[in-house]
Amino acid sequence: MLHILPRFSLVLMISITVLEYCLAIMLLRWDAWKRYPVMSVFVTWQAVGGSAALLIACLGTPISYFVVFYVITILADVIALAVSVELYYNVFDPRIGLSAWGPRHVVIMISVSLGMAITLGLLLAARNGGSWTRTMVTMEQVMSVALWATFCILLIYSRSLGFTWRPRPAGIAVGFIFYLTISVISVFIRARFSLKAALIAGQVGMAAEFLALAWWLGVFWGEEKLPKAATPEQVEEIVAKYIETVEAAARLL
């Protein structure tokens, strides 16, 4: 099937897979996998999945590549959603008592993201290709929008409470937001525009993934310096902002 793929797309696929293996090795080298296990699983799954997709592209049929590609993509999206939860618990300091509301906040954050994504998916469903292609591309749209919205809500919500992100979690989130912003635009073009536009959009999406991986290589380079424990004054200030935000939300409802 390799002769069907455009040369630039093939180069990007190989380059992305190589970067994913490099990032996985870096996570092991600096023991970052201990603090970010879900992110490590995400990178490893992407690397192994990329290798499997390339192998199927070399030896398999187009339909087998289609199935493998979407299985890898959907599971990667689910793991990426778990990465957002991992970042949530890295950013919201359990020492100040907010972890008690953690599960409820995670459910609300993901529910809002999925609700918005499903609504957009139904309004702007894919219309290119056969029924299976339209179904899978629409599902890809929903997952991309849900992931993008989840990371954006996490960032906005934490900043509204006055939390300061450490460089590494912030770098992970920025990489996802950058890649997912391009990915959302790319998948909507692939779903509804001409074949030529869809091809270009797909390549732009892969290029964005390549740049995000290169960014994460810089983020995970070296050992992470953890901050000192929060002072009582900082704890009181954050809790006060939290209560104020919850009360404001309750008044809106």
* Three-state DSSP string of the chain: CCCCCCHHHHHHHHHHHHHHHHHHHHHHHCCHHHCCHHHHHHHHHHHHHHHHHHHHHHHCCHHHHHHHHHHHHHHHHHHHHHHHHHHHHHHCCHHHCHHHHHHHHHHHHHHHHHHHHHHHHHHCCCCCCCHHHHHHHHHHHHHHHHHHHHHHHHHHHHHHCCCCCCHHHHHHHHHHHHHHHHHHHHHHHHHHCCHHHHHHHHHHHHHHHHHHHHHHHHHCCCCCCCCCCCCHHHHHHHHHHHHHHHHHHHHHC
Full residue range of the structural domain in which residue 95 is found? 7-252
Domain count, the chain: 1
- CATH for 18: 1.20.1070
pLDDT digits (tens, 9 = 90+) for 100-112: 445 666 777 778 8
- Percentage of residues in the chain with pLDDT exceeding 70? 83
The verdict on residue 2 lying in a domain is no
Reported confidence tier of residue 168, pLDDT bands at 50, 70, 90: very high
Global confidence as pTM: 0.84
Average pLDDT of the chain is 83
Choice among 99-113, 137-151, 212-226 with the minimum mean pLDDT: 99-113
Give the residue, 93 or 11, on which the prediction is more confident: 11
On the question of pLDDT at 237 being above 50, the answer is yes
Q: What is the pLDDT of residue 205?
A: 94
For the residues 216-236, what does the mean pLDDT come to? 72
pLDDT digits (tens, 9 = 90+) for 4-38: 778 888 899 999 999 999 999 999 988 889 889 99
Reported confidence tier of residue 73, pLDDT bands at 50, 70, 90: very high
For the residues 106-130, what does the mean pLDDT come to? 80
The verdict on residue 79 lying in a domain is yes
The verdict on residue 1 lying in a domain is no
- Name the most confidently modeled range: 122-131, 168-177, 233-242: 168-177
Reported confidence tier of residue 202, pLDDT bands at 50, 70, 90: very high
Q: What is the pLDDT of residue 57?
A: 85
Give the residue, 175 or 110, on which the prediction is more confident: 175
